[in-house]
A and B are shown apart, each in its own frame.
Chain A
Amino acid sequence: SSELTQDPAVSVALGQTVRITCQGDGLRSYYASWYRQKPGQAPVLVIYDKNSRPSGIPDRFSGSRSGNTASLTITGAQAEDEADYYCNSRDSSGNHWVFGGGTKLTVL
């Protein structure tokens, strides 16, 4: 089991906006980071901090937080955004890190 809960699967039409959410008590005290993972590849950081993107990540990716829920929003989803997305934060103790179960994003 994970202390961070994500929807297993989400779909979005090409060019539309999609929000992927992550819930957990730890998120009341810590910001989440988000990772994109394509088949057979290592995860790649897409969002960290309040809403920061590493270099090379398009600005259609954004992050937000409200209460115990963190969200990753893709505005104008592209075919290459189809992947598994994982959130990460500290657990409720603050001493360890946990990942959400992952959300499989399908771009239709």
Chain B
Amino acid sequence: QVQLQQRGAGLLKPSETLSLTCGVYGGSFSDYSWSWIRQPPGKGLQWIGEINRGGRTNYSPSLGSRVTISADTSKSQFSLKLSSVTVADTAVYYCARLRSGYYHGFRFDWFDPWGQGTLVIVSS
């Protein structure tokens, strides 16, 4: 059973860089794509970006150039960096495995499992 374990700083000041890492345990790392998702307090989920098994990244247009996702296959972990944070970046950040498939010509994707979540607070 694959498990994801997150770690990283939970309190930042505006303009600093958020940095989180997600370790993958109990399963293959190289065979899958991996994503970061966040949830502001009391609000819904927002997809941040992904890194696929070839190391190619894909980011949410709303976060664009502030986001960097990287992977270290030797350590079975992937990381999120979000630069120039503001109060609006306060959220619980989750890592998750992204899987895809096809059924009768329709593509489907799903996020499973998820990490435990890390509350990141941005405050001066």
| Chain A residues packing against B (C-beta within 8 Å) | 2, 29-33, 35, 42-45, 48-50, 54, 86, 88-90, 94-102
| Chain B residues packing against A (C-beta within 8 Å) | 35, 37, 44-47, 50, 58, 60-61, 94, 98, 101, 103-104, 106-117
Please name the residue on chain B nearest to A54 by beta carbon: B112
Please name the residue on chain B nearest to A89 by beta carbon: B109
**Which one of A31, A44, A86 lies within 8 Å of B45 (CB-CB)?**
A86
Contact A33 B58 (CB under 8 A): no
- What's the least CB distance linking B120 to chain A, in Å? 15
Query: Are A42 and B114 also in contact (CB < 8 A) when A33-B109, A96-B60, A99-B44 are?
Result: yes
Contact B44 A33 (CB under 8 A): no
- What's the least CB distance linking A66 to chain B, in Å? 13
22 A-B residue contacts at CB 8 Å?
A29-B106, A31-B103, A32-B108, A33-B110, A35-B45, A43-B45, A43-B94, A45-B112, A45-B113, A48-B109, A49-B101, A49-B103, A50-B108, A88-B45, A88-B109, A90-B109, A94-B107, A96-B61, A97-B47, A97-B109, A98-B47, A99-B37
